[in-house]
Amino acid sequence: MWHTALMRIEISTYIAGSSPVHSCDARVKIVLLIAYSVTLFLVSSWWALGVCAAAFVALLGVSRIGPGGIFALSAPLLVIAGLAIVFNAFSFDAQAASQAAVGGMGAVSAGVFEGAPPLMLAGAFGFVPAGFARGCFYALRIVLLVVASLLVSFTTTSTQLTEAFASFLRPLRRLRVPVDDVASVLSIALRFIPLVAEEIGRIHDAQWSRGAKFGEGSIASRLRAWSTVLVPLFVGMFRRADDLAVAMDARCYGMPGVQRTSVTRKPLAARDVAKLLVGLVGCVALAVMG
């Protein structure tokens, strides 16, 4: 009996909801994400980083999104975080590394490991407690940066993100920057991502049913098998792009003197302005005090 191998590629991360995080304006979420990211790289104490982590946990709870989905997508990041900890915790000259870490390790506090002597394992190679603290600090900083970005993508649709970026670029019209075209390109690119994923899965299943060996044989044979997917994929995407161009031309897109409009454009609500101010004040306070 033949079975079709279904190739699933999850692209859309948006999770519908009615939480305060979902209802917040996309422009506010993008600005606060940028401020939060900058704050993560400016804080140098563990208490300030703990406040940043607590703020993310609180927003995650308010959004009513399970942490499993976010941390499942960020699983590959844990490898990078683990390497950062290992490379900072162990040194081939542990004594020198420990001395260099005295005084707060430059821009990062060692916390309870401040001034702790190294643990020599083999000759000059050993474990540096202050370096371990530094690695954990950097790893947590990177993890918080990524999961905060995922939280924004989980609570914001691609259309809302596109309109937010277009709103940010709108003042550049005075400099004759084609803001409307940039927004259209971004919107089309976001909509093509799930189409490409769907096309890859469809062609993969079709070629597998015809006997293509994607998981067997040498690397060269597997690459040749995937060439049977990539060639039809590019042909199909070019065909879709050509159809889209014809449809846009038939609707008179790009006519001179015509300004792009949006049916969902709206000013910031008072509650969104309040969220923005509170978030920015908190980020600035942490960056200065932490």
**What CA–CA distance (Å, rounded) separates 68 from 27?**
26
**Are the C-beta atoms of residues 127 and 87 closer than 8 Å to each other?**
no
Q: What is the pLDDT of residue 282?
A: 92
pLDDT at residue 110 is higher than 70: no
> Rounded to whole angstroms, how far apart are CA atoms 154 and 73?
11
pLDDT at 47 over 70: yes
Task: Tell me if 124 sits within 8 A of 94, measured CB to CB.
Answer: yes
C-alpha span between 162 and 160 (Å, rounded): 5
Give the C-alpha distances (Å, rounded to integers) separating 202 from 2, 69, 225, 238: 16, 25, 15, 17
Q: Pick from 3, 10, 25: which is nearest to 200 by CA?
A: 10
CA distances from 90 to 121, 199, 217, 273 (A): 10, 46, 39, 47
The number of residues in the chain equals 290
Task: Give the whole-angstrom CA distance, residue 212 versus residue 228.
Answer: 8
pLDDT of residue 171: 84
Q: Which residues of 266-288 are buried (b: 16+ CB within 10 A; e: fewer)?
A: eeeeeebeebbeebbebbeebbe
Give pLDDT, residue 98. Answer: 64
Compute the distance between CA of residue 232 and CA of residue 163 in angstroms, rounded to an integer: 33
Q: Is the pLDDT of residue 153 over 50?
A: yes
pLDDT of residue 140 exceeding 50: yes
Q: What is the mean pLDDT of residues 267-275?
A: 85
| CA dihedral of 43, 49, 54, 60, whole degrees rounded to 10 | 80
Mean of pLDDT values over 268-277: 88
Full-prediction pTM beyond 0.85?
Answer: no
Residues of the chain with pLDDT > 70, as a percent, come to 82
| Predicted pLDDT of residue 2 | 38
What span, in angstroms and rounded, lies between the C-alpha atoms of 212 and 198? 19
Whole-number pLDDT of residue 3: 40
For the ranges 10-19, 94-103, 131-140, 253-262, the maximum mean pLDDT occurs at 131-140
Q: Greater confidence, 56 or 125?
A: 56
Residue carrying structure tokens 């914001």: 156
Asked if residues 147 and 114 have their Cβ atoms less than 8 Å apart, the reply is no
- Please check the confidence at residue 7 and state whether its pLDDT lies above 70: no
pLDDT tens, 158-183?
A: 788 888 888 888 888 788 777 777 77
